Amino acid sequence: MKEILLIKNGEIALKGLNRNTFETILVKNIRFRLKDLGRIDVRKAQSAIYIEPREDGIDFEEAAERLRKIFGIAAFSRAAMAQKDYDDICRTALEYLKGPLSEAKTFKVNAKRSDKGFPMKSPDIMRQLGGDILRAFPHLKVDVNTPDVMVTVEIRDFGAYIHANQLPGAGGLPVGSGGKALLLISGGIDSPVAGHMMAKRGLELSAVHFVSPPYTSDRAREKVERLCARMGEYCGRIRFYCVPFTELQETLRDNCPEELFTILMRRLMMEIAQRFAEREGLQALVTGESVGQVASQTLGAIVCTDAACRMPVLRPLIGMDKSEIVELARKIDTFDISVLPYEDCCTVFTPRHPKTRPSLAEVEAAQAGFDFEPLIQKAVEDTEEKWIYPDRR
């Protein structure tokens, strides 16, 4: 029996955007995510997207699992394909849905005939198949309002498709349909969640990570790369920038007031991030900040950080509690990696008494007291870049 994945137009989460462009991007993203599983045809036709294996031995479970994580799909179905012939449809339905129908108490048949050349009308299909299912599974009852299993038969151009209840998709908008942004990613819990949320709104992500060897280890950096790969299951491939930050941090420590260290460091991070964003045509920065979470995330500190930015800084977690962020991190499977215990460069040289209410004037004055530009340029030049591809599990 041949199985396909089917996304109908109503299941594509589209609002207000150009539908055609949006679907083209979605199809491209689906192709990209399924490419290494074998020859799989992904095509748009008859107000649906069909995902059809074209060779034997394709891991269909894995294909369905990956589809579940592609933004822009609100729901989809796994469907069996039958000939456009009632007997074949009935045989296929009884065999394909044996599991769910055996476990259910109630069912209903729904038929749609978009190929009007098929000799039976939809109500006839529903009546006849309903009867055949009742004979094969005598324990079942018909419930037209809230059936346990909704058996759907669709007679379309290329064949007949039979499926049961639809599966939930990831929702959101297709990655790449909403522009590009640069995520500042640490090894912590928050920033991967922030990136996920913005990718869900259709943004394609690049990611920048600051390291301070020898204060931070290679393993800390590897951890962040693993986070990007895990995020990639939803966000797609990510262009990754790893910035050597040690010299700037040491210079800050030696030349600026200790209590302003964190805020100045964050301003330098923003500055460097923007150099990459501008060079690559990315339109915004994304961070995992949430008001009041730590000293550098008071509103006053955010004012000082924002003043160092020429482009919008998106902070999707801004009003969330830590517990809510943790819940999301678990849901998207980044939590287990985030809690691995490696140092982040932010925790290096942390001042004993960071200023929680710095004034912008004093912060700018402190920064102006030293010429950071040559060090910024050097950090940008020495940055390592690469693509990180989604986890294959």
Phi, psi of 281 (to 5 degrees): 70, 30
- Position with the least CB separation from ligand ATP: 188
Out of ligand ATP, Mg ion, none, what residue 261 binds, judged by CB under 5 to 8 A for its kind, is none
CB of 163 to Mg ion, least distance (A): 44
Contacts with Mg ion by CB under 5 A: the residue count is: 2
Q: Residue 200 in contact with residue 171, Cβ under 8 Å?
A: yes
Both tokens of 122, joined, read 């939809």
For residue 254, give both structure tokens: 């030696």
- Picked from ligand ATP, Mg ion, none, the partner binding residue 184 (CB below 5 to 8 A depending on kind) is ligand ATP
106: Cβ–Cβ under 8 A, 6 or more apart, which residues?
140, 141, 142, 143, 146, 147, 148, 149
From ligand ATP, Mg ion, none, interface partner of 293 (C-beta below 5 to 8 A by class): ligand ATP
Residue 271: which of ligand ATP, Mg ion, none does it interact with, CB under 5 to 8 A by kind?
A: none
User: Judged by CB under 5 A, does residue 186 bind Mg ion?
Assistant: yes
Assess 188 for contact with Mg ion (CB under 5 A). yes
Q: Which stretch binds Mg ion (CB under 5 A): 99-107, 112-120, 179-187, 304-312?
A: 179-187
Taking the least distance from each CB to Mg ion, the nearer of 338 and 383 is 338
Q: What is the dihedral sign for C-alpha 245, 246, 252, 253?
A: positive
CB closer to ligand ATP, 163 vs 355: 355
Interacting residue ranges for ligand ATP, rule: CB under 6 A:
184-186, 188-191, 208-210, 269, 287-289, 293-294, 296-297, 344-346
Q: How far is the CB of 258 from ligand ATP (least distance, A)?
A: 17
Residue among 174 and 288 whose Cβ is closer to ligand ATP: 288
Residues that bind Mg ion (CB under 5 A): 186, 188
